[in-house]
Structure 1
Amino acid sequence: MDTILSLLTGVVIAVMILWNGQLTAGYGNYAAAVIIHVVGTVFSGVLCLAGRRKVFAKAPFWAYLGGAIGVLSTLFNNYAFGHITMTSIVALGLLGQTITSVLLDRFGWLGAPKRRVDRSVAVALISAPVGIFLMLDGSVSQSILAVLLSLGAGVTVVLSRMVNARLASETSPLAGSFVNHLVGLPICAVLLLLVGQWTTPAAGTMEPWMYCGGMLGVTTVLLFNITVPRVSAFRLTLLSFVGQVFTGVALDVALGQTASAASFRGGLVIAAGLLVSQLLGARKSSEKA
């Protein structure tokens, strides 16, 4: 079940990226970010009220900063977009996530349980860099800053989900998702006022579902809040990535767009490594039993 939920998270992320991208094309980066956070805050807030969920709890101050860290991910990716290819942004983001996840698992930072690197994990750890390398292209030599920020986006993605999960452990997964969007909203609003511009989309160009990315954002954080305590940071990173890549390819085909062959090849290698890792892990568990 945890594996399915981790893959499902990647599926939701892929659809969310599509809808948020369409919204951004109409309103601009910062205005779209505000809309996404407003929708996410209202949606999760209504669900919390309906379920009478406890939203705030006695938790460390840093446990409330997941939404702020998530905004950094958006800013980093926004800068990198246009300086290097989207495929390279995704690959470098995955590299940043992989490195951060392995360190969290190894040292138990941010409340993550310490996990040793056994043979099953080693297989996935080898396949991940190979898949990432297959996704990179020559654009990475054009902007060192864009490369570093893409790596940073991967780091902040993992940190954000770990911080959100820490708060969720004191309240609930849904409440953690609400706080994530509530904290991120004023930051996005300030950025819009300072450096952004509200662009009015042309009439008839926006569809209703394009405004629902915030709901999928709530779902994504909710799923991560459920899986983070139960799945290693490294395995969760790769499983959600595989779900995201193959859903992204399917969406490209469905929309009549050209799917990224590099992303597909890299995803296949990582998926194969994960499959072998899962089989080795299952075999080890059966031997212990």
Structure 2
Amino acid sequence: MFHLISFLTGALLSVMILINGRLTERIGLYQATAVIHLAGVLFSLFASWLRKEKPLPRSRSPWWFYLGGVIGVYTALANNFAFGKITLTSIVALGLLGQTMASLVIDTTGWLGMTRRPFRKSTLIGLVFCFAGIGIMLDHSVLEAVLAVWMSFGTGISIVISRSINARLAERIGPLPGSFVNHLTGLPVAYALVLLTAKNQPPVSYPGGPQSWVYLGGVLGVVAVMLFNILVPRISQFHLTVLSFVGQVFTGFFIDLFVGGFAADASFWGGLLIAAGIALNLGLEYKASRKAGPSPSS
């Protein structure tokens, strides 16, 4: 069940990225990042009120448990820096590579207090397919902008670290309050960036009326962080990374098909290869678990 939820979380992320992209086109990256965090804070407060749940319960948690949202701001900045310097497909591929490597390190070492999951032979099959898919998605542009390449790779690492930290905090205060803290801690950083770049930005007009749907990205972000808070302790980081990526790729395919912009490009074929690898990986693990008898979910 958690594997299916991981896939659906990736699908949710694809829709969220589309909505956030539309907002960014209208008001700019830094303003959009701040608005998205503000929308996330307000929605999580409202959801907490509906659930009669304290949005910020007392917790004797280490200070670094509250850094998930701050690290998340770096993700947006790094993607923005790389955009235009290397292709979008390469940005996605390098981000996935960073996520994959960070996921394997956390799974095998138990870093950040995560459940330690020994490396399995079946994981190697999924890993080979994953690297092959990434190889298909990379192109010559990665040879021309070394800093952008490293920042895109770092984005993948930051995603895994951020969701792991958020999950540790959520274990103590709950998935919804954990999502609230993620957006709340990222909010001042995002607004500080708006102030620092204000002189270089043209005046913006904030969408309203029928265009107000562009503010829903923050709402979906709250749901996505909540789902990751639930999923991270329950399945391996590697499976979570790859399944959510596959969900993003195929949802993106249907979105592009709907708006008439689909092209069977490197992202699609690379995603298809990765999907085949993870399906084979999960199939082998299921077969092995049937032979071994009941065992804890991985």
- TM-score w.r.t. length of structure 1: 0.96
Residues 203 and 77 of structure 1, relative CA distance in 2, 3 Å threshold:
closer
Corresponding residue of 1:50: 50
Distance (Å, rounded) in 2 between the aligned partners of 1:24 and 1:95: 25
1:82 matched to 2:94? no
Secondary structure of the structure 2 residue equivalent to 1:207:
helix
Q: Which residue of 205, 214, 238 corresponds with 1:210?
A: 214
Question: Post-superposition shift, 1:112?
Answer: 1.2
**2:93 alignment counterpart:** 91
Greater Cα shift, 138-147 or 53-62: 53-62
Moved beyond 6 Å, runs of 4+: 202-206
2:24 aligned partner, one-letter code: T
Letter in 1 for 2:146: I
Offset from partner CA, 1:220-246 (integer Å, 9 cap, x none): 101100100001011100000000011
Alignment partner, residue 27 of structure 1:
27
User: In 2 relative to 1, CA 94–230 (structure 1 residues): closer, same or farther, beyond 3 Å?
Assistant: same
Instruction: Establish whether residue 229 from structure 1 lines up as the match of residue 236 from structure 2.
Output: no
Structure 1 counterpart of 2:164: 162
Q: Which residue of 1 aligns with 2:269?
A: 265
Equivalent position to 1:177, from 171, 176, 179: 179
Residue 208 of structure 1 and its aligned partner are, at CA, apart by: 2.1
Please, what is the CA RMSD of the aligned residues? 1.5
Structure 2 unaligned blocks of 5 or more? 294-298
TM-superposed deviation, 1:138 = 1.3
Deviation at 1:141, TM superposition (A): 1.4
Q: 2:24 and 2:210 mapped to 1: Cα distance?
A: 11
- Contact conserved, 2:26 with 2:207, CA < 8 A, in 1? no
* Partner residue, 2:135: 133
**Contact 1:110–1:163 under 8 Å retained in 2:** yes
Paired residue secondary structure (1:52): coil
The answer to whether the Cα contact below 8 Å between 1:69 and 1:160 also exists between their aligned partners in 2 is: yes
Q: Which runs of 5+ in 1 are unaligned?
A: none
TM-score (norm 2): 0.94
Whether the 8 Å contact between 2:3 and 2:239 is mirrored in structure 1 is no
Aligned to 1:253: 257
Q: Number of matched residues? A: 289
